[in-house]
Structure 1
């Protein structure tokens, strides 16, 4: 089975019109680089592009663009500079707006039996510093990073394990890389195409000089030999392809970050060796620079309304839409409302791995989780905060998913105070204090501390409404915000009782979509972080699953991995979704939220309608920001 999809056709067009395209390329140097090319410090465009660049055809409503301009956007903190990588969305293979996977950085991908993946690199493709991009960059990651215990103590990523088996990795020549397993790996392509993808390559020419296996000790000074003892920490600090905060690290993205962190303003400049061209043979991206300015999240809507951005979605909520619309003409932008695809916009995560034995026992009792869900007035939350436009219900799937049913959305997720009280009474939580708050088995009031990353005032608003409705069943809520890194570490260590985050990223799955996040496979599943940690570290940390329903989800996921039959995969998905609805492992509240997108009136090729989603989608990534351009 040859999976090269549309790129094969495009390459066919390339071959048929090679002379014409190369002539166009020779005449169409990017203005941003003309001075450097004229001075001889940079090769001309035809020498910077791979022999067969990826020809990107604009979608129906998009047009051929013009070069130039700075695109301004606001970010919530220095770590958000990674959005240059996310939205640039150059991947070995990537999702199209139709959620199909096509080659991108790769010229082609051959897949045999769902288990043998042969990758063909583009001849002449180069990193952003002009160094060749070859199979050596894949070999270096696999042999010198992923299997080096000092750089990767847990070994290669758990996502590469199929039934405990790591892949066989081969490098037949400088343009070919082969990953193979004895069984199918249906997640491999989608992992490579993710917003935060599985990165199986590194710029070897840059990182080798910081790796003990490639350093000539005979040439080191005594001081350098002492420093060599901490080489692994230095290597990891520099190796930030995804974090995008090391300006010296070569990249394959359309823009390269030129600003070291920490900073309040990050500048991304176009990559002179980027591998994509438009149908006229002109190298992409059209826009010269990205300007990312750090702002407090609460100020982003006001700054967007003042015309301080050219493209903005992060930090904007549906509640801001009216205010933003009122300022369209004055600040010369347009507000567009994109759909979102998450299973739920706002989700409560009971920590089944809480360190506190009393809380752990409560959270693991399905009656407790169901009672909490039944005591949430989702209709009130929708009406007050989302103009009645949201979808009330579980953290499940959206209507356009083939697995959608009303039962998945509403089971244990409609307001029923009497049933909630009955479930809590049935658990033996019948004693209350003078304020009407139930008492836990240890005699303490049933006060749930819900932890947040402290980034969204919307979360506090929703929690306040939940607080009011939970009081009716004798449960009190306190909200504890903290910085995101602290928030996550507390969850991972079991210090939290309950947390808040958005729901499952892919709320529109089909049979081919991976159900990995519906099983205990990652510590970033906040309802069972230690079970996920145990899987990710191959048992070196975390805890083994010790709950039958969660184990069933894990077993079903393993069956999905082994299956090659779409009907069987679909049936597995349905059983997993039903288990989640029945068990309320996560408590979804509200979903189907529209995302405001502010677009400068001179910015072209940003779709009028779209999905704003992390994975699949990479926010703007799958709509090709390298095609966005400024008129005039």
Structure 2
């Protein structure tokens, strides 16, 4: 039996009549006035697709806005330019605020048995430089990028070949393309909606100049010198990276486009005149003309935010900055909202099951040890001291906002019980102690655990100060080592880390149709099993295969999920994986449901007062559509 589902591109379940936009000068942004008057840009009706995406703001409980103004935000490094791709959240298929998939750049899509995906583009849709977006752009990316072994040496993203083979690609007509697999591929759509989305399309008219198939060697050599790359393949890769937002010349489909070439201390993103969304009154989104990103040290971003140097700030601030930021509201006309973080745990302790130290590796792979370390932590004390009692004591698992949430997952091995923890450690063979009461490892060394942090704030070290006392009560000595994110991951891959403190599960509000890969070793940046993750990621060519039966089972269940064709079956697999993950304490979750400050100038409208905040799946601010934010009046200080 063929199951066919068709998804149409209307927001908030409201099928609105297409607003009249032709010849209405009031719907034109003043920002574009000079280009329009000089005839360098067509009027709005000719810039929009025939069927633009209508964002019904009233249905979302928001107000239609006005054009104009600039928004400043602070970033910690040039790499954070990618936030504009995440915030803009223009995707072929994306999540709405209820985390339901729907067309965005696409006008519609049809799915048959999760094997055949037919995508229909919006007729008349254009790239940010005014060139048409057509199926030729999909064909170019498929034939000349994905199938090109030099540009895509790995054979394409794993989400495109979950069963080993790439799909069949077809161009049906100028606005319709199709991807077909012989087996279900439930990874496909969620990865198109992801923060770092699976790329299927690129501007053919622009990128051909960097492709050896379409460009002569002399010109390619000149371009390689101009853009400072050593290989022809690297030239195309560098110029085509939409996620990194570093190429101002690259045509995009997002609400704002970068106009600043790196390196720079300030990056200016300007409105995309051809963006495909409009409000119910026919005004083209975004309302805001410019996003200005200023680079600053991450450690002082909270201070600079609280003294009026940012008009919209979410990253690089934490709940421990809340009191300071709240005090700054009146002085700098700010408003501080508190959104609920979507992580499975705001902080989690991650025992490295791939440690290069054979004794520690054996100890940490004993589930009794992991359970004991969890039971010895007084989460209530951490919640009160660090989160003012506003978080929830929990294992690293789903939040109540997820349909997959079960109380027994959240409560697994989190009760404060030093007596049981001591008994478990004794049973695991760590029953000998030195004169200071510190347990001895099987080789006679003291049980001293160095927990490494990324050094990106004081919250981790504040938590570890408390855990140090908790674990001292069961004969485990804890020491803290502060590092940097890249160094931390490199040391974990090399097995030089015994344990780290990091964020919990990326997605604590998952649905059954979202990939459960976060519960199994699937990536090399999973700090509790990086070598097992590399083995999965490389299809067995690198890293090492997992040898713990429960971890092997998680990988098997993930493979079953990847072959499932129904949400019911996927939900059952999710629950099996969640049950194993929390019972085996592969990450020691502490507190979740914590609050994330979102700071903005009080003139900025349509910023939700309460919402969910996380990288995956909400894309930080992305699913709340910053293109619908607007200023009551222009900020004169910008």
TM-score (norm 2): 0.93
Q: Name the residue aligned to 1:258.
A: 259
Farther off after superposition, 412-421 or 612-621:
412-421
Q: CA deviation at 1:238?
A: 2.4
Q: Name the residue aligned to 1:46.
A: 45
Alpha carbons 1:134, 1:174 under 8 Å: kept: yes
Deviations along 1:185-228, one digit per CA (max 9) or x if unpaired, are 12211111111111222222222222222222477789989999
Runs of 4+ in structure 1 over 6 Å off: 8-12, 218-229
Farther off after superposition, 610-619 or 228-237:
228-237
Q: From the two aligned structures, give the one with the greater helix fraction.
A: 1
Q: Aligned pair in 2 of structure 1 residues 238, 376: CA closer, same or farther (>3 Å)?
A: same
Q: CA deviation at 1:583?
A: 0.4
CA distance in 1, matches of 2:468, 2:246: 40
Deviations along 1:43-65, one digit per CA (max 9) or x if unpaired, are 33222222221111114431111
Partner SS state of residue 473, structure 1: coil
Farther off after superposition, 210-219 or 262-271:
210-219
In the alignment, is residue 131 of structure 1 matched against residue 131 of structure 2?
yes
Q: CA deviation at 1:251?
A: 1.4
Q: Aligned pair in 2 of structure 1 residues 140, 454: CA closer, same or farther (>3 Å)?
A: farther
Alpha carbons 2:76, 2:297 under 8 Å: kept: yes
Q: Aligned pair in 2 of structure 1 residues 153, 543: CA closer, same or farther (>3 Å)?
A: farther
Q: Aligned pair in 2 of structure 1 residues 436, 234: CA closer, same or farther (>3 Å)?
A: farther
CA distance in 1, matches of 2:204, 2:390: 50
Segments of structure 2 that go 5 or more residues without pairing to the other structure are 634-638
Q: Name the residue aligned to 2:484.
A: 483
Deviations along 1:120-147, one digit per CA (max 9) or x if unpaired, are 1112222212222222322232232223
Farther off after superposition, 536-545 or 380-389:
536-545
CA distance in 1, matches of 2:229, 2:327: 59
Q: CA deviation at 1:115?
A: 1.2
Q: Name the residue aligned to 1:201.
A: 201
Alpha carbons 2:14, 2:56 under 8 Å: kept: no
Q: Name the residue aligned to 1:120.
A: 120
1:81-230 matched pairs, under 5 angstroms: 81-217=81-217, 230=231
Q: Name the residue aligned to 2:315.
A: 314
Partner SS state of residue 538, structure 1: coil
CA distance in 2, matches of 1:498, 1:152: 34
Alpha carbons 2:21, 2:44 under 8 Å: kept: no
Q: Aligned pair in 2 of structure 1 residues 540, 406: CA closer, same or farther (>3 Å)?
A: same
CA distance in 1, matches of 2:152, 2:495: 24
RMSD between aligned residues: 2.4
Partner SS state of residue 429, structure 1: coil
Deviations along 1:514-558, one digit per CA (max 9) or x if unpaired, are 212112222232222222222222222222222211111111122
Q: Name the residue aligned to 1:546.
A: 547
CA distance in 2, matches of 1:228, 1:500: 37
CA distance in 1, matches of 2:602, 2:243: 31
Alpha carbons 2:210, 2:220 under 8 Å: kept: no
Alpha carbons 2:212, 2:220 under 8 Å: kept: no
Q: CA deviation at 1:177?
A: 1.7
In the alignment, is residue 504 of structure 1 matched against residue 505 of structure 2?
yes
In the alignment, is residue 473 of structure 1 matched against residue 489 of structure 2?
no
- Size of the alignment, in residue pairs? 628
Q: Aligned pair in 2 of structure 1 residues 225, 347: CA closer, same or farther (>3 Å)?
A: closer
Alpha carbons 1:158, 1:535 under 8 Å: kept: no
Q: Name the residue aligned to 1:4.
A: 7
TM-score (norm 1): 0.94
CA distance in 2, matches of 1:151, 1:223: 17
Segments of structure 1 that go 5 or more residues without pairing to the other structure are none
CA distance in 2, matches of 1:55, 1:67: 17
CA distance in 1, matches of 2:359, 2:290: 54
CA distance in 1, matches of 2:221, 2:23: 52
Farther off after superposition, 579-588 or 319-328:
319-328
CA distance in 2, matches of 1:545, 1:531: 5
Q: CA deviation at 1:77?
A: 1.8
Q: Aligned pair in 2 of structure 1 residues 156, 631: CA closer, same or farther (>3 Å)?
A: same
